[in-house]
Amino acid sequence: MAPTLFLDFDGVLHPYDVYLVNGKAVRPGGGLFVYAPLVVEALAPHPTVKIVLSTSWVSAIGFEESRSRLPVELQRRVVGATDQATARTRHSQIAHYVRQHGLIRWLAVDDDTEGWPVEQRKNLVRTPRAMGLAYPDAQRELADKLALLTTQA
């Protein structure tokens, strides 16, 4: 079973301040997905890692449209999305997906830490909402945890 990365968008791939205006996502004063190349770079040494979208974008604009916003290198890795209707917290949504699909090796990168039990924090790379993956410590933690994830038996 492939190692899996649960990927949020807002607060991870760009700062959190994104709004849906007339069906279009906009971020005042900045671009969208500006840190996505950092995920491409982090995943490059780990070709077996698959991506599951764990973002409210899927509920807002749909799975296919959400996936299409990512760089092609990431789009190819996307195998699904969490179901926002299954639980209130992001952790609960991810935990439901993990149980449903029998995942053993997984990692989430998200700015939302609500509901994460202490014993599962090892499966989370938390990014600061205002900086996302531009935060150097988050980049290092992602690289380190991906290395561990892909070397586990």
27 contact partners, CB below 8 Å, separation of at least 6: 14, 15, 17, 18, 19
Residues of the chain with pLDDT > 90: what percent?
80
Looking at the structure of the chain, the number of domains it has is 1
- CATH assignment at residue 117: 3.40.50.1000
pLDDT in tens, 77-107: 999 999 988 778 999 999 999 999 999 999 9
Residue 86: per-residue pLDDT: 76
What domain range includes position 24?
4-151
Residue 87: per-residue pLDDT: 73
DSSP the chain: ---EEEE--BTTTB-S--EEETTEEE-TTS-SSTTHHHHHHHHTT-TT-EEEE-STHHHHH-HHHHHHTS-HHHHTTEEEE--GGG-SSHHHHHHHHHHHHT--SEEEEES--TT--GGGGGGEEE--TTTGGGSHHHHHHHHHHHHHHHH--
Residue 20: per-residue pLDDT: 81
pTM of the model as a whole: 0.95
Q: Which range among 23-27, 92-96, 116-120, 142-146 shows the weakest confidence by mean pLDDT?
A: 23-27
Residue 153 has pLDDT above 70, yes or no: no
Residue 135: per-residue pLDDT: 96
Residue 112: per-residue pLDDT: 92
Which has more pLDDT, 117 or 22? Answer: 117
pLDDT in tens, 23-43: 788 888 789 999 999 999 999
* Cα gap 35→9, rounded to integer Å: 10
